[in-house]
Amino acid sequence: MENYARKLAMKIEKSALTQGLIRCHECGCLTRQTSHAVHCPLCDSPLHARIANSFQRTAALLLSSLSLYIPANIFPIMTVTQFGVGEPHTIAGGIIALIHSDMIPIAMLVLIASILVPLLKMLGLGLLLLCVYYRWQINARPWTVMYRIIAFVGRWSMLDIFMISILVSLVDLGGVAQIIAGPAATAFAAVVVLTMFAAKSFDPRLIWDIQQ
Amino acid sequence: MSKIELEACAECDLLLNPALPEMGEKAHCPRCGNLLQRPRKQSIERTFALSIAGLILIFPANLLPLVGIKILGNTKDGNLWSGVAALFQENMWGVAILVFLASILFPLLNIILSLLISAHLYFNKPNAHLARWMRWLQHLDEWAMLEVYTLGIIVACVKLASIAELKFDFGLYAFIALLIITGMLSSSLDEYLFWKQIGELRQKVGHED
């Protein structure tokens, strides 16, 4: 890997944009920035030097997901009825129930996937937005790594939603035992989807652009 | 238009000389560490073969029951569709649609698109839609969540183990096989090579016109 790094590095570090080149988001090919080059010559997708309105879109999606995170945690995500006695569970309640039944590793898994990941993800995206907005002069590499992790882990929060869909379909035995999905499920699903879109609409090249 | 013999990093926009890593090696961006290229052995052939295998497995994995439970003599089976159907019945249509997309439709589309693209590249057949399919595939990849679904099955089973008797059906084995195949599929697909080949096929058509 080291020799590639040497071979790859040009004499001076320059971004493609400062050299008048646009990298296609889809296929990666470079096109010279001209007034008429609006579509990539290789794959026909529209060319943008940076994701269009990246900051505003990410901020809007982040704020929406942040506001939905509250109902997602307050309301019950599912209601378990056994022998006619219903018991609503919130996300945190489900984790506590797992701990009580001595399923510590599984409880940790759910804790990470449905509480820590969304929370840290929103925090991380917020920091990235602040960094771009206030033009913080930072070592951009760890920030890019943070972005990469945020973009990668988001989908794992769907764990809870999938688990509920399985439980709801299996435990449907009328009076004996029944599990019903609660209103928090919709809110939580929206949080996961919105944060995934937020991560996708953030352009990590903005962090590098502001460094002098 | 003259061809630009340079590349740029997707995550930091650093202008680079094209990386030419050997088979099995990886090229990372020297500035931000982003993975630039990861050439794979017989990428097109493997993608073609794996997507056919995936297309076969997706039927038993979708249609056969995955897990069954038994509580006080009452039995119930569930497959991928019954979870979606149960959520729909409870009027949770938003969640139902999301589960349907992430666990059924997108994995299927992913396999179909991989098959279409790799078949065209394998037989060297140009197609005007190749670039569009490749773009769709890149966007869908993130939203096909079979591996997350598997984790969901595991957590659901752990939760149910205390109140019910669990029965694992043949569908689950098909599902796990499908999971492995889709994992191998995404690691065998070398996007850099695929785009290069799509570009070359496109040029070939351009010269014939």
DSSP for A7-53, written as a single string: HH--SS--BTGGGTEEE-TTT--EEE--SS--B-TTT-PBP-SS-TT
Question: Looking at the structure, do residues A1 and A100 belong to the same domain, yes or no?
Answer: no
Q: What is the mean pLDDT of residues B35-53?
A: 93
Question: Looking at the structure, do residues A42 and A74 belong to the same domain, yes or no?
Answer: no
pLDDT score for A1: 47
Task: For Cα atoms B166, B168, B171, give the angle at the middle one, nearest 5 degrees.
Answer: 145
Domain end residue (candidates: A49, A71, A87)? A49
Q: What is the mean pLDDT of residues A127-132?
A: 96
* Interface size between A and B, measured as CB pairs under 8 A: 235
Share of residues in chain B with pLDDT > 70 (%): 97
**Chain centroid offset of residue B58 CA:** 12
Mutation target for B interface from A108, A128, A170, A193: give the one with most B CBs within 10 A. Answer: A170
Between B138 and B1, the higher pLDDT residue: B138
Put simply, whether B91 touches A (Cβ < 8 Å) is: no
Above 60 in pLDDT, residue A95? yes
Distance from A102 to chain B by nearest Cα, in Å?
A: 11
- The Cα–Cα gap between A71 and A188 comes to 8
Flag if B32 and A144 touch (Cβ within 8 Å).
Answer: yes
Question: Looking at the structure, do residues A96 and A162 belong to the same domain, yes or no?
Answer: yes
- The Cα–Cα gap between A52 and B7 comes to 21
Question: Looking at the structure, do residues A101 and A205 belong to the same domain, yes or no?
Answer: yes
Above 70 in pLDDT, residue A52? yes
Q: What is the mean pLDDT of residues A165-178?
A: 85
Read off the pLDDT band of B2 (50, 70, 90).
low
pLDDT score for B1: 46
Question: Looking at the structure, do residues A84 and A1 belong to the same domain, yes or no?
Answer: no
Question: Which of A:176-205 have CB within 8 Å of B?
Answer: 176-177, 180-181, 185-186, 189-190, 193, 196, 200, 204-205
Put simply, whether A171 touches B (Cβ < 8 Å) is: yes
| Contact call for residues A131 and B124 (beta carbons, < 8 A) | no
Q: Among B122, B98, B118, which Cα is nearest to B110's?
A: B118
Question: Looking at the structure, do residues A72 and A169 belong to the same domain, yes or no?
Answer: yes
Scanning every residue of chain A, which has its alpha carbon at the shortest distance from the alpha carbon of B195?
A27
Q: pLDDT tens digits for A23-43?
A: 998 888 888 887 776 888 888
Question: Looking at the structure, do residues A142 and A173 belong to the same domain, yes or no?
Answer: yes
Contacts of B16 in chain A (CB under 8 A): 8-10
Mutation target for A interface from B95, B149, B190: give the one with most A CBs within 10 A. Answer: B95
The DSSP output letter for B94 is H
Q: What is the mean pLDDT of residues B11-16?
A: 90
pLDDT score for A6: 52
Question: Looking at the structure, do residues A148 and A187 belong to the same domain, yes or no?
Answer: yes
Scanning every residue of chain B, which has its alpha carbon at the shortest distance from the alpha carbon of A143?
B32
The DSSP output letter for B21 is P
pLDDT score for B23: 85
Domains and CATH numbers, chain B: 1-39 (no CATH), 42-208 (1.20.140)
Residue B108 main-chain phi, psi, to 5 deg? -65, -50
Scanning every residue of chain B, which has its alpha carbon at the shortest distance from the alpha carbon of A6?
B30
**Mean predicted lDDT score pLDDT of chain B:** 90
Strand blocks (E) in chain A: 21-23, 30-32, 78-82, 85-89, 177-181
Read off the pLDDT band of A167 (50, 70, 90).
very high
Question: Looking at the structure, do residues A42 and A57 belong to the same domain, yes or no?
Answer: no
Q: What is the mean pLDDT of residues B108-127?
A: 94
The three-state secondary structure class of B129 is coil
CB atoms within 10 A of CB B199: 18
Q: Please state the domain count of chain A.
A: 2
Scanning every residue of chain B, which has its alpha carbon at the shortest distance from the alpha carbon of A166?
B83
Question: Which of B:127-146 have CB within 8 Å of A?
Answer: 131-132, 134-135, 138, 142-143, 145
pLDDT score for B162: 80
> How many helices (H) and strands (E) in chain A?
9, 5
Above 60 in pLDDT, residue B209? no
| Contact call for residues B57 and A32 (beta carbons, < 8 A) | no
Read off the pLDDT band of A5 (50, 70, 90).
low
Q: What is the mean pLDDT of residues A97-114?
A: 88
A187 contact partners, CB below 8 Å, separation of at least 6: A68, A69, A71, A72, A75
Question: Looking at the structure, do residues A57 and A44 belong to the same domain, yes or no?
Answer: no
pLDDT score for A8: 56
Flag if B153 and A196 touch (Cβ within 8 Å).
Answer: no
Question: Looking at the structure, do residues A126 and A157 belong to the same domain, yes or no?
Answer: yes
Above 80 in pLDDT, residue A175? no
Please give the residue range of the domain that contains residue A192.
53-209
Question: Looking at the structure, do residues A60 and A159 belong to the same domain, yes or no?
Answer: yes
What amino acid occupies position A153? V
pLDDT score for A3: 54
Read off the pLDDT band of A9 (50, 70, 90).
low
Q: What is the mean pLDDT of residues B54-75?
A: 90
Contacts of B12 in chain A (CB under 8 A): 15, 140, 144, 204-205, 207-208
- Please measure the distance between the N-terminal and C-terminal CA atoms of chain B and give it in whole angstroms: 18
